[in-house]
Amino acid sequence: MSPSAAPTTAPSSRFAPLQNDTFLRACWRQATDHTPLWLMRQAGRYLPEYVATRAKAGSFMGLATNTDYATEVTLQPLERYALDAAILFSDILTVPDAMGLGLSFAQGEGPRFATPVRDEAAVAALEVPDMDRLRYVFDAVTSIRRALNGRVPLIGFSGSPWTLACYMVEGKGSDDYRLVKSMLYSRPDLMHRMLEVNADSVAAYLNAQIEAGAQAVMIFDSWGGVLADGAFQQFSLAYTDRVLKQLKREHDGVAIPRIVFTKGGGLWLDNMAALDCEVLGLDWTVNLGQARARVGGAVGGPGKALQGNIDPNVLFAPPAQIATEVARVLDSFGTPHLDPNTSGPTHIFNLGHGISQYTPPEHVAALVEAVHTHSRRLRGR
């Protein structure tokens, strides 16, 4: 899409005009003054202010389902760091919870479903949930967008159909994915049925987030990389594609970019290039320069913007080493696209997966400073 075809900064009658559109411009492969930066799980347990707010809320779901708390924790990292986007504070498992699977978060154990989906009857009973059951998410989107007051764009998100299926069948996180893969191989008909429902649910969910005020949406295919070649294309990629085909292209006269991130998906980058989305997220195993050459496109031509991909554990190194690794990632992408009159290869800096809860907050400050400083230097600024 050409710059003129992506009205990323058009004012909405409901919200304040956007002051910093660097992230959205990069999504549309437009030249930017610096490489925009945001972090997966940027609102989270590594921040003491988040821990304090969660304590007030009493539980994770108490936090996520309370509009004021969800707004507060979404904005917390922006008060500390010069980030170029906010991401809705929520969880990928809200959709299956709305299907009636009974989501809970035990302290120190992660998410768990009371009624996993493991047999034909359970799969047959699945249906796209009433989006009113997720009203708390959409209310949070609108509240956050208003609280941002145009400071930076707001990203909405969902888990991918396959990633949701992993949790729905396993009932919790898994080390070997034995139960979900057993269903995939022994009863592929059941798995396809579940993925169809999941895909249509995710599409409805993301469209409702867009209507509530999300300015970009991201699909987290967190467990796509655990699949075998061939199975990935059939059981993950095809259903991510089904979601994308149903998503709103614009809202309130503003185009909405779509991001797809598959952890462990570097092997299938060329397959993913065919997806109907603007941005592909990459984990730390992928060389950005090679990814740019494969799917980033040329100046004036089509291609995907790239997002990523520093190893989150770099943030445990001293600030000087963090700056060195930031420079390495930015240099691996290469010379930024600078022509303001056309589209071309662009990069959004991020982690290769979510930030660790043990990350020192001051190390995140060093990362942000290094990204902005070195990316401006690469542009001769």
CATH of the domain at 350: 3.20.20.210
Q: Is 91 annotated as a binding residue?
A: yes
Q: Is 353 annotated as a binding residue?
A: yes
Q: Is 323 annotated as a binding residue?
A: no
Q: Is 34 annotated as a binding residue?
A: no
Question: pTM for this one?
Answer: 0.95
The reported pLDDT for the residue numbered 104 is 87
Amino acid at 161: P
Reported as a pLDDT band with limits 50, 70 and 90, residue 209 is very high
Instruction: Report the pLDDT averaged over residues 206-225.
Output: 98
Torsions phi, psi for 350 (to 5 deg):
-160, 175
* Cβ atoms of residues 213 and 167 within 8 Å: no
- The reply to whether 91 belongs to the active site is yes
Catalytic-role residue among 33, 45, 80, 242 = 45
Q: How many domains does the chain have?
A: 1
For CA atoms 355, 357, 363, 369, give the dihedral sign: positive
Torsions phi, psi for 187 (to 5 deg):
-135, 65
- Looking at per-residue pLDDT, the higher value among 381 and 42 belongs to 42
Q: If 0-12 CB within 10 Å is exposed, 13-18 middle and 19+ buried, where does residue 201 land?
A: buried
Reported as a pLDDT band with limits 50, 70 and 90, residue 108 is low
The reported pLDDT for the residue numbered 110 is 81
Per-residue pLDDT tens digits for 183-200: 999 999 999 999 999 999
Instruction: Report the pLDDT averaged over residues 53-66.
Output: 93
Instruction: Report the pLDDT averaged over residues 49-65.
Output: 94
Who's near 255: CB < 8 A, 6+ residues apart?
Answer: 1, 5, 6, 7, 8, 28, 249
Reported as a pLDDT band with limits 50, 70 and 90, residue 107 is low
Per-residue pLDDT tens digits for 322-376: 999 999 999 999 998 999 999 999 999 999 999 999 999 999 999 999 999 999 9
Q: Is 45 annotated as a binding residue?
A: yes
- The reply to whether 221 belongs to the active site is no
The reported pLDDT for the residue numbered 105 is 83
Torsions phi, psi for 260 (to 5 deg):
-125, 130
- The reply to whether 45 belongs to the active site is yes
* Cβ atoms of residues 28 and 6 within 8 Å: yes
**Statement: residue 2 has pLDDT above 60:** no
**Statement: residue 170 has pLDDT above 60:** yes
Rounded to whole angstroms, the Cα distance separating 85 from 24 reads 9
Catalytic-role residue among 50, 69, 167, 239 = 167
**Statement: residue 130 has pLDDT above 50:** yes
The neighbour count for residue 64, using CB atoms within 10 Å, is 24
Catalytic-role residue among 41, 112, 145, 258 = 41
Distances (CA, A) of 274 to 64, 269, 277, 284: 34, 9, 8, 22
Structure tokens at 335: 């010379």
Rounded to whole angstroms, the Cα distance separating 38 from 339 reads 23
Rounded to whole angstroms, the Cα distance separating 115 from 113 reads 6
Instruction: Report the pLDDT averaged over residues 205-215.
Output: 98
Its domain, for residue 331, covers 3-378
* Cβ atoms of residues 52 and 45 within 8 Å: no
Torsions phi, psi for 281 (to 5 deg):
-85, 145
Reported as a pLDDT band with limits 50, 70 and 90, residue 4 is very low
Structure tokens at 356: 């660790």
> CA torsion, points 158, 235, 115, 45, in degrees to nearest 10?
-40
Q: Is 130 annotated as a binding residue?
A: no
